[in-house]
Amino acid sequence: MELLNSLFTWLMKKRIHQIELFMKYPHDVQDEWFQSLIKTAEATEWGKKYDYNSILTPDTYRERVPIQEYDDIKSYVDRMIQGEQNLIWPTDIKWFAKSSGTTSDRSKFIPVSMEALEDCHYQGGKDMLSIYCHNKPESKMFTGKSVVIGGSSQINNFNPDSYNGDLSSILIRNLPFWAEFKRTPNLEVTLNPNFEEKIEQIAQITIKENVTSLAGVPTWNIVMAKRILEITGKSNLLEVWPNLEFYSHGGVSFKPYRDQFKKLIPSDNMYYLENYNASEGYFGIQDREDAEDLLLMLDYGIYYEFLPMEYIDQEHPPTLRLDQVELGKNYALIISTNAGLWRYKIGDTIKFTNLSPYRFQISGRTKQFINTFGEEVIVDNAEQALQVACKATSAIIKDYTAGPVYFRDKQVGTHEWIIEFETQPSNFQDFCQKLDDTLREINSDYDAKRYKNMALTPPIIHNAPEKTFYNWLKSRNKLGGQNKVPRLSNDRTYLEPLIKQAHLQRKT
């Protein structure tokens, strides 16, 4: 054990030095990866189609290769699932991360190469640990085990040699021995496709372990934590795991969950670190304690471009290189990767908070916003307003979603919210007023539409019964993994059924 811990320490110190290098020479690192990716894929079907052999500069690349979304590459993915290879990447691709991004019925199957596993996703995991241990050298995390709630993974129906599942399950299935040695519970439990059964098994097993760290989506970690407290009769997780010191989270904004975790883990020494690891790649790590931004990871086999949001609807929108971005502007993230995603728009938007080194915040989704009336409310606006309203009324939010109420006859529009609270606001009307007021303060477009209720009236806000979101996800077989309800939507696709679910629970 001591030898293993010493090896970890040595490797992490070495990696911190490498991270400092790419922070110092970010543009050189990105240029090298651009050249490497283009050269590696030039003999693939995709590379021949766009004549990668003659692409020498990022400018030529942008001019020749159009921006891609999933529909644009789906035919290639379908062929790879059937067993064809060397289509978009030269090495065999047998893993496909099943992702909806939201709770829609349609699934996406994102190709995951071995290079992406090793040089991107696993490197990101190792870097996260390196940064944590560098920031907290007195850590004793490696004396215990980590609990990770994975998704499910199964052999697909097209080809027995290719597999699909949540990204978390793919990562867990392929973990190196040293990582598996530090994880609990066993593989069979972690990958149990029955989410409720899995939570029960994880709770029963891990209460007997020396757990020092947690990882995963906040929503499902809270579900697990509450079940553990029910079983043990304890009041918080430190009474179950006294050596718990670290939680690495991602997948959704942590702001609505922060106060819940403070109740579950009442310790000033608990360290929270955010990571940005999507099915398409590992992009960022929070490298400073209590910071609200992430370090852009530049040497994971990903070449980045940034699409200003004002051009998002253009047929051939211009993109920017890393050295061209500005502080505080919203950009759609465009990536080219060592899994064969080329100029791929993943659907997330970011804004840079620092340019040396490059740090950023996830500001929302390109398709997750409310702009029915020209108000352009993005997730970042919603999170800020909710945080202010919660602080003013001592509330804690568990889940929420919002959408528009369209113009009807002589009535103007509005926004409608459904919010499930972990702790109810001291005054619900004050909460609603503060939410609206804050949105007006931080979003001038929203404020203009709210002026004298000319285009938007005050929002309609529903106080949802406990487990409304959970039960709705369960009814759609969407528990666990990366499934989540969109925070904002430009239609009522998610809002309507959630309101019905809330009414149904009130009746029962």
Tokens of 121: 């996703």
The share of the chain scoring above pLDDT 90, in percent, equals 66
Query: The sheet that has 281-285: what strands, in order across it?
Result: 183-184, 145-148, 211-216, 246-249, 271-278, 281-285, 294-296, 358-365, 344-355, 330-337, 302-308
Pairing between β-strand 145-148 and β-strand 183-184 as defined by DSSP bridges: parallel
Could you report the per-residue pLDDT of 448-469, keeping only the tens digit for each? Answer: 889 888 889 999 999 999 999 9
Q: Can you tell me the mean pLDDT for 188-193?
A: 85
**Same domain assignment for residues 279 and 416:** no
Q: Do 384 and 265 share a structural domain?
A: no
Q: Is residue 450 part of a domain?
A: yes
Give residue 303's identity as a one-letter amino acid code. Answer: Y
Note the pLDDT tens digit of each residue in 216-250: 888 788 889 989 999 999 999 999 999 999 999 98
Query: Do residues 281 and 373 share a domain?
Result: no
- Which residue blocks in 316-427 are alpha helix, DSSP H? 379-393
Question: Which of the listed residues 239, 264, 285 is the one where a domain comes to its end?
Answer: 285
pLDDT on residue 104 = 40
Predicted confidence at residue 213, as pLDDT, reads 97
Tens-digit pLDDT profile for residues 68-105: 999 999 999 999 998 999 999 999 999 999 875 443 43
3-state helix/strand/coil string of 65-78: CCCECHHHHHHHHH
Assign residue 137 the CATH number of its domain: 3.40.50
> For the residues 262-274, what does the mean pLDDT come to?
95
Q: Is residue 332 part of a domain?
A: no
Asked whether residue 262 falls in the same domain as residue 377, the answer is no
Residues 272 and 382 in one domain: no
* Domain C-terminal end among 244, 267, 285: 285
Tally of domains within the chain: 2
The band of 331, judged by pLDDT with boundaries at 50, 70 and 90, is: very high
What's the pLDDT tens digit per position in 289-314? 989 999 999 999 999 999 999 898 88
Residue 354 placed within a domain: no
Residue 47 has what pLDDT? 98
The answer to whether residues 151 and 244 belong to one domain is yes
Quick: pLDDT tens for 244-266. Answer: 999 999 877 787 778 889 999 99
3-state secondary structure of 152: coil
Query: Could you tell me if 337 and 301 are in contact, meaning their C-beta atoms sit under 8 angstroms apart?
Result: yes
Cα of 113 vs its chain's centroid, Å: 20
The predicted model gives 112-116 an average pLDDT of 97
Please report the pLDDT score of residue 223 as a whole number.
Answer: 85
The domain in which residue 216 lies consists of 116-285
Give a yes or no: residue 472 inside a domain: yes
Contact at 8 Å (CB) between 361 and 377? no
pLDDT of residue 7: 60
Whether 73 maps to a domain, the answer reads no
Within this chain, do residues 389 and 499 fall inside the same structural domain, yes or no?
Answer: yes
Buried-state track 54-79, b at ≥16 Cβ within 10 A, e below 16: ebeebeebbeebebbebeebeebbee
At which of 238, 265, 285 does a domain end? 285
User: Are residues 274 and 133 part of one domain?
Assistant: yes
**Amino acid residing at 27:** H
The pTM for the full model equals: 0.80
